[in-house]
Amino acid sequence: MMNYTKWNDPKTYERMTAELAAYTVPETPIFAARDVEHIEHSRVQYCMTSVDELRELLDSIDYAIVEQVACSKYLNSLQIFEYITLRGYDTDRPKLRKRILKLMKYRVIQENEMVSTGAEHGLKYYELDYFGYQLALERGVNFHMGNRYVSFSKRREKGMPDDTACDVKRILVGNQIILNLLMSNTQMQRFGIMETMRATDLEQAGSSCMIRTAATVKIDDTSVLAYEVVRDTPDSYEKLMSKIERYYNLIHNETYLNSNYHGDASYPQMIICGESRDHNIKIAEYLRANGMWSQEDTILFTEDLLNMKRSLVSIYALADDNTQNWYALPERKESFREAA
């Protein structure tokens, strides 16, 4: 069974502020695929220290940053700000930047930048560094295959490939989906990033009865949402084909409901997050053309910018003529705790 913690509980993220509510949605999706994009690691002058010394140097906000980056695998600075603000911590963006620089200096988190050829600036994001992993373990963060930490030297030793820019963006969008649900006051029992859905008895169910999606959300005992993020690149469509095939295998396998990794009593509903409506239509047409479209097992869609609008209405089905049929998620009965 999956080990859940307070960081999977929406009640941990109940404090809404006027600043979070007033966020301006960008005109173009910032996590869309870019041509010839690569990742650069930011270089800083490290301060040599130990975990024991770090415990004296960090405060509750620093620890909250470490916890969120650990749970979420990758976050940009705005997402870090949103998560810790929802948790009730008071800071602003300039102060957060100073904290991030401090955590980088002590090898707690690592800053990376996705850069396109010819672009002057790229998209910065953060992941754990060596000491951050040690501290996150102490704080009780649950690590699984989807958010595991492997040091740079260990990856090189084992010949493990680094995540690509699209891999990183997939996780950033997964976190953006969760943040939108939290800030729109969506009814949820739990959520997770990069979690696996599978039957407990894989030998009986078969290894093809298993999927990992960018974000998962349990609304209630009858509704589990599996958000898969797709970027507009050739290899993304091939990977999606395999995932949809395994998804259909899973939702037609009784072994999954009898006993599964999350203890869910219902099959997950697949929701594909594309970069835009046009991209989602392209995805749907690709699935239809390759025999991976089922009228009985409807696949739903959402888009990058829909998950920045703080709205309960962000999901739709695509009809055969590609018209959108919209769905609203349920709202929590309890209201947010407002900022003082």
Q: How far is CA 53 from CA 47, 104, 139, 140, 170, in A?
A: 11, 15, 16, 19, 35
What secondary structure does DSSP assign to 300-323, as a single string?
Answer: EEEETGGGGS--SEEEEEE-TT--
Give pLDDT, residue 337.
Answer: 67
Distance CA 270, CA 151 (A): 32
Classify burial at 338, counting beta carbons within 10 Å of its beta carbon; exposed 0-12, middle 13-18, buried 19 or more: exposed
What architecture is domain 6-165?
A: Orthogonal Bundle (1.10)
Paired tokens of 297: 């097992």
Cβ neighbours, 10 Å, residue 204 = 13
- Please report, in tens digits, the pLDDT of each residue of the chain (340 residues total): 678 899 999 999 999 999 999 989 999 999 999 988 999 999 888 888 889 999 999 999 999 999 999 999 999 999 999 999 999 999 999 999 999 999 999 999 999 999 987 777 899 999 999 999 999 999 999 999 999 999 878 888 888 888 999 999 999 999 999 999 999 999 999 999 999 999 988 888 777 889 999 999 999 999 999 999 999 999 999 999 999 999 999 999 989 998 999 999 999 999 999 999 999 999 999 999 999 999 999 999 999 999 999 999 999 999 999 999 999 999 998 776 665 4
In the chain, where the domains are located: 6-165, 166-338
Helix, strand, coil shares of the chain, percent, nearest 5, are 40, 20, 40
pTM attached to this predicted model: 0.95
Give pLDDT, residue 151.
Answer: 85
